[in-house]
Amino acid sequence: MRQIQFREALREALTEEMDRDERVFLMGEEVAEYNGAYKVSQGMLDKFGSERVIDTPIAELGFAGIGVGAAMNGLRPIIEFMTFNFSLVAIDQVINSAAKMMSMSGGQYSVPIVFRGPTGNAGMLSSQHSQNFESWYANCAGLKVVVPSNPYDAKGLLKTSIRDEDPVIFMESEVMYGDKGEVPEEEYMIPLGVADIKKHGSDVTLVTFGKMLKVALQAAEEAAKDNISVEVIDLRTVRPIDYASVVASVQKTNRLVIVEEAWPLAAISSEITYHVQKHAFDYLDAPIHRINSMDVPLPYAPTLIEAILPNVKRSLDAIKAVMYR
């Protein structure tokens, strides 16, 4: 099977859906003339023209609002934020308009819109450009939240998101756009709310999503050197969460570790911890451990970034802690 970059997988999903449905269009900063800040939309202006690949001013609240209005009137916008840190400027339109319109209109208006762009740390970008808001958006009724970890999932999940009748938050990672992975040439889609077992194991369940999958898989490989068999589950979507797959795995392994890039308070890992202790308490042979970023704004210095973010060592220590309790 061919290997393509993460950005190319996203581009294929966008292109295929715009070819399939003339109501789909892309709008955001630098998506057209510059071919995208991360070259996801490279060549799409030439293919689809300026009415469907639209450059915007640096005005997230404005173009997010335009997208919501367009979706309410029958179009299917894809709104690109240069980073989800900038989505905070537009959060009123995302939370108070897109997420609530179906309910507030008594079902008269759906809002089939995708808000997409990079999330989390991307190197030495400091505090205002290195945040994770997955749990913020997942906390809001009316939204679906997708965080792919590899090119194959990114393409299949984005195509599904574009066809969804509800607003979808689609969160990528700047440091993954160049990652390569196997992606079939034939069309496929991945349903939202279905986790994927990336590595089967029998001793410890390790749950994660997004670029933290790399950390989880490396930690699992290191654990295997000590004869610890780790099952790695990639949530893929954090609203809805595939609780059933996590619980089933814990019932098999009797131990759970969660790795997540976000801050610890009210995180996705907190929600999974609560759900597992409620529905699989009798299966647990050790307290649940979770690895998050330290509870501070992310600094600029690379040594501090390394110390604050989840890493392989911290994850491996947690695996051993639940194993040898």
Give the residue numbers marked as catalytic. Answer: 60, 129
Task: Tell me how far apart the alpha carbons of residues 5 and 247 are, in angstroms, rounded to a whole number.
Answer: 33
Task: Tell me how far apart the alpha carbons of residues 70 and 111 are, in angstroms, rounded to a whole number.
Answer: 9
Task: Tell me how far apart the alpha carbons of residues 76 and 70 are, in angstroms, rounded to a whole number.
Answer: 7
CB within 8 Å of 71: residues ≥ 6 apart = 77, 98, 110, 111, 112, 113, 167
What number of other Cβ atoms are within 10 A of residue 277's Cβ? 14
Strand order in the sheet with 230-234: 196-199, 230-234, 204-208, 256-259, 289-291
CB within 8 Å of 222: residues ≥ 6 apart = 312, 316
What number of other Cβ atoms are within 10 A of residue 128's Cβ? 12
How many Å from the N-terminal Cα to the C-terminal Cα in the chain? 43
Task: Tell me how far apart the alpha carbons of residues 28 and 139 are, in angstroms, rounded to a whole number.
Answer: 25
DSSP-derived 3-state class of residue 171: strand
Give φ, ψ of 234 to 5 degrees: -100, 115
**What amino acid occupies position 182?**
E
CA distances, 301 to each of 84, 97, 108, 294, 298 (Å): 21, 38, 50, 15, 9
Cis peptide before 287 (omega within 30 of 0): no
